[in-house]
Amino acid sequence: SKLRSFPKERFLFGPSPVQHLPRLSAHLGGASIWAKREDCNSGLAYGGNKVRKLEYVVADALKEGADTLVSIGGVQSNHTRAVTACAAASGLKAVTLQEAWVPYNPPLYDKTGNILLSRLMGGDVRLNSECFHIGPKASLDAAVRELKDRGAKPYSIPAGASLHPLGALGFVDFIVELAGQEKDLGVFFDTIVVCSVTGSSHSGIAVGALLEGRGRKVIGIDASGRPVDTKAQVTNIAKDTLALLDPDARLPDDAVVLDERFHAGMYGIPDEQTKAAMRLGAQLEAFITDPVYEGKSLAGLIHLVRSGEIAPSSKVLYVHLGGQPALNAYSEEF
């Protein structure tokens, strides 16, 4: 199909593992819960969802002759760590802006976890005081201009690789990959639950599910604390990605579902519901999640299954997008 016509780097081990979670399923007493482990998808600096997106984005950077990947995120951004990892593995430099997106500054917050890994990989890590938002950022444009003035060939990657024309393709791939695994396992996941912030993981999955036409339900769980912005961005990226793959297709109005009940009020800060979900996953299944993203989507999954909002007859797939390196920066929460 059209998807195969886009050049891509190979940064993943292969298909990410699909795993049944029998103890969590039994504990909640509803739908059968499985997970697809994007947190174990690659050997590049612990992998995660961004590495899947960057297979397409870095292929484009190499085609353009770039020598430096430039990107942006919070202090404990998984994305900037993944950009630095893919740069290192491709023989490129990385410059990452690590902004004050989270009003949280415990000891070692800017020294441990993701930012430590970026420094270890030789990234040019630049802290600044800019606030959180998921849209285009002037600070990123300024860094790109500065590098050009110095004679470098920078390639700009927006937050989460989301507002990039190719950013969601990796998660269209995800559905193709999943369909093959389902065939081998003899299962079909009628419902997919995925964390959503900058939006292209969710968009790619929604578009992949739409194009395969098997009627899967995709439920995004907002972790941005600004669900209006995230829903609009997911919808726009889904429309653009669909247009790239099938110009005749139209995104149905109900294709983007974003549950707003689990973001704990603010990006980057967990609440008791987040931490309870993290503990439950860890204690029943040694299933480790972070307080910024997956702890919130896991709280969503737990509620949806426990309450029966996802039917007990369902087979539900929780997409684990990664993010565990940030956990070390949040040790005082536990």
Binding residues for ligand PLP, rule: CB under 6 A, are: 48-49, 78-79, 160, 162, 195-202, 293-294, 321-323
Q: How far is the CB of 40 from ligand PLP (least distance, A)?
A: 13
Contacts of 324 (CB under 8 A, 6+ apart): 39, 46, 288, 289, 290
Name the active-site residue from 25, 32, 77, 162: 77
SS3 at position 193 = strand
Q: How far is the CB of 309 from ligand PLP (least distance, A)?
A: 21
Cα–Cα nearest to 50, from 114, 136, 144 = 114
* CB-nearer residue toward ligand PLP: 147 or 163: 163
* CB-nearer residue toward ligand PLP: 199 or 227: 199
Q: How far is the CB of 152 from ligand PLP (least distance, A)?
A: 26
Contact in structure between 12 and 47 (CB atoms under 8 Å): yes
* CB-nearer residue toward ligand PLP: 30 or 322: 322
Distance CA 325, CA 322 (A): 8
Q: How far is the CB of 13 from ligand PLP (least distance, A)?
A: 18
- Amino acid 312 reads P
Torsion angles phi and psi, residue 117, rounded to 5: -65, -40
Torsion of CA 327, 160, 45, 325, to 10 degrees: 0
Distance CA 96, CA 73 (A): 8
What's 98's DSSP letter?
A: E
For ligand PLP, the nearest residue by Cβ is 323
Q: Is 42 a catalytic residue?
A: no
* CB-nearer residue toward ligand PLP: 78 or 273: 78
Catalytic residues: 77
